Structure 1
Amino acid sequence: MTDLSKLHTDKLYINGQWQNSHGGDLHAVICPATEEKICDVVQGTAEDVDLAVQAAREAFKTWRTTTAAERAAFLNAIADGMEARKEELIEAVSVALGCPAHITEWLHVDGPIYATRYYAKRAHLMEETEKAGHSLIMREPVGVCGFITPWNYPLHQFVGKVAPAIAAGCTMIAKPSEMTPLQDYVMAEIIDSVGLPAGVFNLVPGAGPIVGAALSAHPDIDMVSFTGSTRAGVEVARAAAPTVKRVCQELGGKSPFIITPDADLEAAVRWGCEDVFINTGQTCTALTRMLVPADRYEEAVEIAKRVAEEVKLGKGGDAFMGPLSSARQREIVRSYIDKGVSEGARLVAGGAEAPEGLEQGFYVKPTVFADVTNDMTIAREEIFGPVTCLIPYKDLDEAIAIANDSEYGLSSGVWAKDAESALPVVRRLEAGLCFVNGGEFNYDAPFGGFKRSGNGREFGEAGLDEFIELKSVQMPA
């Protein structure tokens, strides 16, 4: 165990210094597995945001002129620091989110380390020019950025914003979720230790309606990148509109998973259930609507029931699923389970009652609903808990119609007899991401959604593009 109490959680990190907040209010970070307080984290104010933006704006004047090689060296040094403090990062995420540590390592930490090095390798793209007829096309950094990150994948989304911003030559202010801020403090210490110039990175934790709103509306911020609910994303965009700043949003999802008639049903249903149950269902890309051929439906229901009942809950090394992130989130998930029952869905496994032996902690049973129709609340709204809905279909045209009948379009999945057979179905799905036959998330590829799931992309080279302004230089013909 590492000692998280040594982190500077009573301070803000602004202009290369640990500083006091102008407000000084504290927010308790609660361990969802034990319901005990981990620590208090200071809350920033709009005045603190002003100071951080001022520092970032001043730093941008010189940071934007650094070479790609310099910025790549900083990113590699940050990745080295993440490797050196990996156990601390694992604990920081695990203890505040509730994800078992052995899963946190590969689900929450390994990928962000890889992504940091990925953007170090691509910083050179900022110095490349393209020819278009008699014009040159140059890339320049967008400027000062405000980052608002979520509680469910806190390090993942931190790196998905901070690493490409550094590679592009931007400066930034980061606001973590009040529930899971600890990994940002570890990252701030790492960033400080590698000597990133003062003001390039600033950390201002605090409440969304205060710090998040100040970042979104600030006239000296050129871009705001937000990950969270669609409802909150609308507020961010509304606050950003008067200053015409760039807005990048990764928002909600209610993603479909089509199992084709020729698929390996056992493998497909098992993978689909585990996709929903991992991270206790608190995954925006979770494939929570499982679409199954009607003539194999009951077989699929039995497989899903068995998988749910096999899931080990807890925080130890044999646990697959930890608690939900908070008491409030547990109540939200329980209310959706009750709603599913009241609307006529068949409860196959799980339910709203506390799991036996886990009365302490914000635990919920992995839950499976059958006989779900796509007009039910549990099929329309993002539950953000370990709840999956099985929906029958008569043919693939109907399956695709059901899949696309959603205001969201973040993720999707298809399991067919082989990957090649899945691609014609994939092309008809209205989603920015699709998992085929159990394919894994890829940090080299763009991530983002269609429709009300957001705009813009993170990760891959498209993630770097979000931080770039293109300049056309008209040369003599």
Structure 2
Amino acid sequence: MSTLLDKRKFYIGGQWVDPVKANDLEVIDPSNEEPVAVISLGGQADTDAAVAAAKAAFPAWSQIGKAERLAYAEKIAEIYQSRAEDMAWAISHEMGAPQDMALSSQTGAGLFHIQTFITAFKDFEFLRPLGDHAPGTMIAWEPIGVVGLITPWNWPMNQVTLKVIPAIMGGNTCVLKPSEIAPLSSIVFAEILDEAGLPDGVFNLVNGDGAGVGTQLTTHKDVEMISFTGSTRAGIAISRTAADSLKKVVLELGGKGANIVFADADEKAVIRGAKHCFNNSGQSCNAPTRMLVERSIYDSAVETAARVAEETAVATAHQPGKHIGPVVSKQQWDKIQDLIQKGIDEGARLVAGGPGLPEGVNRGYFVRPTVFADVRNDMTVAQQEIFGPVLSILPFDSEEEAVEIANDTPYGLTNYVQSQDGERRNRVARQLRAGMIEMNGEARGAGSAFGGVKASGRAREGGVMGLEEFMDSKFISGWDRSAG
């Protein structure tokens, strides 16, 4: 085994600094279960130092002009592109995204969001009139203050860029706590921001776990806002601990997406839906993990989905190809195995995959792409977010029943509709209780906000709404527009 990467330092006040007290944690490569790096988990003193640096930087940063903030963002995008290979390596080794996916999708998502925010920012009016009916009333969008950003391991740069970039472009200063399971990509990101020359303290990074640094940020008196992406359970806990200090809390949580496949869906709808479910080894909160299929095509859909699962290769993240990699950790692997077994025990029909490691694999956190048919919506595999490559297929007989099943879940992040009937697609989309609806495989346009309702949280990340999320609106009457 080669020497572990030493990534113990934190980025605070524009400097790489040692933790006040050592608390080492090994970062495990999920492809081979071997440590790849060592980080330190921060303590209260580290969190306090980072928040103090952010607080000190806020007065000056909040007042700099729009053009200067834009120039920093464009510089960050430029450096990010030049570090793409480093970023992809980090993501592959920390959370198991295969090489090609780590570069194109995982690293690419970060660049996409930076560029989309730049586009939205250029047209953003920080001071605008309320309307023609009230010429003396203005809306001012202003920074909130020091924001704490807590991000997950499944799409690390997707989530880091959706928070850090709009936070600083909105005039805030921030402290990032990435997932302690997958911190290496965020360390590369901190290096990128350092090279871009952001003023000291505008961006800070402290590694740590949820119980430690996460809670310390959530309860800190000088942190004005928490933006969190992760499990619904953790989001509830954060809401409770943040309540005492009346912080703004923005939560992007779990999902259990319904993919409604009508009999007139295009021929690739089932293939597309199954592949989407298995993508990133099923570790996406917006994955279409419940496939609702009209009964007249149900049997063929089950057969097709099972074939997709069997044809989905599973292999190490350290090689190129279109395979899926491992799930992120032993803890996640164990949870997924328990849920697959629960599906079997509760009477769902296993048509592909199942418990245990894939054939020919004896190490690494690999999960067999799994399909359950004849699932009832009250079964655990239909209600609980599994966060692995596990698809549940349910039949329906009418449009009304499909909508009822789709909405019968605690979650409401992304739902999907497959039909050639435009009127029906539109009608169903309006009835589904979710923050996002994707139809016939068409991606939402650049600048669309990402976020949900119900137990999926109510964040709106990305584009103009993602910028506004990190600002407070102020309404001013008696404004003299002739004075500028």
TM-score (norm 2): 0.95
Please tell me whether residue 267 in structure 1 is matched to residue 289 in structure 2. no
> For 1:126 and 1:64, how far apart are their aligned partners in 2?
15
Give the corresponding residue for 1:282.
Answer: 283
Give the corresponding residue for 2:230.
Answer: 228
Aligned AA (1:286): A
Give the corresponding residue for 2:300.
Answer: 299
Match of 2:341 among 308, 314, 338: 338
Aligned residue for 2:342, secondary structure, equals helix
CA offsets, 1:227-279, max 9 Å, x none?
00000000111111111110000001111000012112x41110110111000
User: What displacement does 1:121 show?
Assistant: 3.3
User: What displacement does 1:46 show?
Assistant: 1.5
Give the corresponding residue for 1:468.
Answer: 471
Verify the 8 A CA contact 1:419 1:437 in the aligned structure 2: no
> For 1:89 and 1:470, how far apart are their aligned partners in 2?
35
Give the corresponding residue for 1:108.
Answer: 106
User: What displacement does 1:126 show?
Assistant: 5.0
Verify the 8 A CA contact 1:271 1:438 in the aligned structure 2: yes
How many pairs were matched up? Answer: 473
User: What displacement does 1:419 show?
Assistant: 5.4
> For 2:402 and 2:130, how far apart are their aligned partners in 1?
45
Aligned AA (1:454): G
> For 2:279 and 2:116, how far apart are their aligned partners in 1?
25
- Match runs of 1:415-426 below 5 Å: 415-417=418-420, 421-426=424-429
Aligned AA (1:156): N
Aligned residue for 1:247, secondary structure, equals strand
Match of 1:25 among 16, 23, 33: 23
> For 2:461 and 2:41, how far apart are their aligned partners in 1?
27
CA offsets, 1:276-317, max 9 Å, x none?
100000000011110001122111111011111110111332
Runs of 4+ aligned structure 1 residues displaced above 6 Å come to 3-6
* Structure 2: gaps of 5 or more residues: none
Give the corresponding residue for 2:244.
Answer: 242
Match of 1:69 among 67, 70, 88: 67
User: What displacement does 1:105 show?
Assistant: 1.9
Would the alpha carbon gap of residues 65 and 269 (structure 1) be closer, same or farther in structure 2, given more than 3 Å must change?
same
> For 1:253 and 1:476, how far apart are their aligned partners in 2?
44
Q: Percent identity?
A: 43
Give the corresponding residue for 1:85.
Answer: 83
> For 2:328 and 2:303, how far apart are their aligned partners in 1?
29
Q: Indicate the RMSD between aligned Cα atoms, in angstroms.
A: 1.6
Match of 2:94 among 72, 93, 96: 96
> For 1:166 and 1:419, how far apart are their aligned partners in 2?
41
Verify the 8 A CA contact 1:71 1:120 in the aligned structure 2: no
Verify the 8 A CA contact 1:103 1:320 in the aligned structure 2: no
* Structure 1: gaps of 5 or more residues: none
Please tell me whether residue 151 in structure 1 is matched to residue 149 in structure 2. no
Verify the 8 A CA contact 1:33 1:98 in the aligned structure 2: yes
Verify the 8 A CA contact 1:72 1:119 in the aligned structure 2: no
Give the corresponding residue for 2:402.
Answer: 399
Verify the 8 A CA contact 1:152 1:283 in the aligned structure 2: yes
- Match runs of 1:405-444 below 5 Å: 405-417=408-420, 421-444=424-447
> For 2:173 and 2:4, how far apart are their aligned partners in 1?
28
CA offsets, 1:41-79, max 9 Å, x none?
111111111111111111001000001111111111111
TM-score (norm 1): 0.96
Verify the 8 A CA contact 1:151 1:180 in the aligned structure 2: yes
Aligned AA (1:411): T
Would the alpha carbon gap of residues 113 and 476 (structure 1) be closer, same or farther in structure 2, given more than 3 Å must change?
closer
- Match runs of 1:141-180 below 5 Å: 141-180=143-182
> For 2:410 and 2:108, how far apart are their aligned partners in 1?
32
Of the structure 1 ranges 104-113 and 346-355, higher mean CA displacement relative to structure 2 is found in 104-113
Verify the 8 A CA contact 1:68 1:126 in the aligned structure 2: no
CA offsets, 1:338-378, max 9 Å, x none?
00000000000000021111111111100000010000011
